[in-house]
Amino acid sequence: MMTKEKYKKIETDFYEKFWKNLKGRFSFDKTHFSSEVPDPKIFDFIKILKKKRVAGKVLDIGCGNSRNAVALAKSRFKLFGIEISSEAIKLSKMNGKLNKVKIDLKEGDFLEKNYKKNEFEVCIDSGLFHHLRKYQWQEYLNILNNILRPGGYFYLKVFSVDSGKLHKFTPPIGRRWLKKNNHVSRLFDVQEIESIFGQDFEIIKIMKTSKGETPLRFLVFFMRKK
C-alpha cells in the first residue's frame, strides 16, 4: 500500500506542475476548476446559507485558485482556504485582490493542518475528497467533524460513477478508480457518500452536474452536521 507521505508528494508535484503551467492565468475553459468561474451549484448553496441565516467562518478545503471562496466572500462570509500547491496559493491571492475580498490562506495538506474544534460554521470541498486514497477517508471525516460545529453546513462535489469514458485517464482500476501519473480519482455514487458521511451528516440536497460537453459527471451534496 502506498504510504501517506509518498502520496502527498505525488499530489503536491501533480498540482504544482498543473498550476505552474497556467503561468499565473485562469483557464479559458470556464467549466474547469482552474477558471475564475465558481461552481454553478455554489450559488444555490449560498442561498440556503442565507435562508438559514448562517454567518461566520468558512473553510474552502483544497481551495485551488479560490474561485468558490471568492463567491462566498462576496456574500459577506469570512473565508479561509487550505491548498497543497504554492502555485495555486499565488493565484488565490491574485483572485482575492482582483475581486477585492479577503481570504485567509494556508499552504499545506488538509490532513495535517491543525484547526480549532468547532472553528467553522461552513466547510466546502469541490474536488479534494475524490482524490484521496480509501485509507484516508476516515481521517478526513474525523478532521471535518472536529472543525465543523454541530449544525454547521458542508458542501461536497465529487466525481460520479455515471461519468462516461475519460480518455485522459488510464483504464479504470475496477469500476470506480481512475489513475493518471499515479494521481488517483474515485468515482462515487449516492449510496457510497451516504455510507461515508451519513452517520455524522444529514444530506439535505443532492444534485447531478456535468463538465460542459465532456463525459465527466459530478455529484453535489449539501449536508448539515448532526
Q: Are 113 and 83 in contact (CB under 8 A)?
A: no
For the domain covering 4-158+195-225, report its CATH number.
3.40.50.150
The predicted structure's pLDDT at residue 173? 53
Tell how strand 57-61 and strand 217-225 pair up: unpaired
pLDDT over 60 (residue 169): no
pLDDT per residue as tens digits for the range 14-54: 999 999 999 999 999 999 999 999 999 999 999 999 999 99
Count Cα neighbours of 133 within 13 Å in the Cβ-side half-sphere.
15
DSSP string, 108-150: S-TTT----TT-EEEEEEESSGGGS-GGGHHHHHHHHHHHEEE
Give the chain's radius of gyration (CA, Å): 16
Average pLDDT over residues 131-141: 94
Q: What ranges do the domains of the chain cover?
A: 4-158+195-225
Please tell me the number of Cα atoms within 13 Å of 207 on its side-chain side.
15
Q: How far apart are CA 17 and CA 20, in angstroms?
A: 5
What average pLDDT does the segment 161-175 reach?
A: 66
Give the mean pLDDT of 147-169: 87
Range list of H helices, the chain: 4-21, 40-51, 67-74, 86-99, 137-147, 190-197
Cα 87 to Cα 174: distance, rounded to the nearest angstrom = 33
Percentage of the chain exceeding pLDDT 90: 79
Average pLDDT over residues 96-117: 95
Q: Partners of 86 in the beta sheet?
A: none
Q: What is the pTM of this model?
A: 0.94
- pLDDT per residue over 191-216, tens digit each? 999 999 999 999 999 999 988 777 88
Q: Does 170 score more than 60 pLDDT? A: no
